[in-house]
């Protein structure tokens, strides 16, 4: 295993990866850093842990959307979380609307666990 030093939200991490996996790992780190920075820069979430959770949810949702799009029944079921078109803050087509995602999570958690 190789050790690769990376940075996410200004914090350094030493990560292990197979010898032929460094490029893919660096791409993944760049995606996570970009997503976490976008949530932080939106200004409503400050805690790193909450930023990380929202990022994980966002990336998992995007992955689920991609998986569903490749399945034959993809056209039959609509998206459950609204997406927004390209904007300055959201340049990726089909990216999850973070504000709506936060609202849905807060509604699900109720008064016991508001994210904001």
Report pLDDT for 71. 77
Q: For residue range 48-85, list pLDDT tens digits in order.
A: 999 999 999 999 999 999 888 887 654 454 554 444 44
Residue 91 has pLDDT above 60, yes or no: no
Per residue in 19-30, pLDDT (tens digit) is: 899 999 999 999
What's the pLDDT score for residue 85?
41
Domains belonging to the chain, first-starting first, are 2-112 (3.30.160.880)
Could you tell me what percent of the chain has a pLDDT over 70?
Answer: 63
27/2 Cα distance (integer angstroms): 16
The C-alpha atoms of residue 49 and residue 84 are separated, in whole angstroms, by 25
Report pLDDT for 13. Answer: 94
- Selected residue with higher pLDDT from 80 and 110: 110
Give the model's pLDDT for residue 49. 92
Q: Is 72 left (phi over 0), alpha (psi -120 to 50) or beta?
A: alpha
Per-residue pLDDT, 46: 87
* Nearest partner of 29 among 43, 49, 9, judged by Cα: 9
pTM of the model: 0.60
């Amino acid at each position: 295993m190789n050790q690769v030093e990376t940075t996410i939200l200004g914090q350094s991490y030493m990560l292990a990866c197979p010898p032929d996996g460094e490029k893919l790992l660096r791409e993944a780190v760049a995606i996570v850093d970009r997503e976490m920075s976008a949530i932080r820069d939106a200004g409503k979430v400050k805690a790193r842990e909450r930023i990380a959770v929202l990022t994980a949810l966002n990336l998992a949702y995007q992955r689920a959307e991609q998986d569903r799009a490749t399945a034959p029944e993809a056209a039959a079921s609509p998206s459950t979380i609204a997406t927004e078109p390209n904007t300055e803050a959201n340049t990726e087509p089909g990216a999850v609307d973070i504000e709506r995602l936060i609202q849905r999570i807060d509604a699900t958690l109720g008064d016991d666990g508001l994210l904001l």
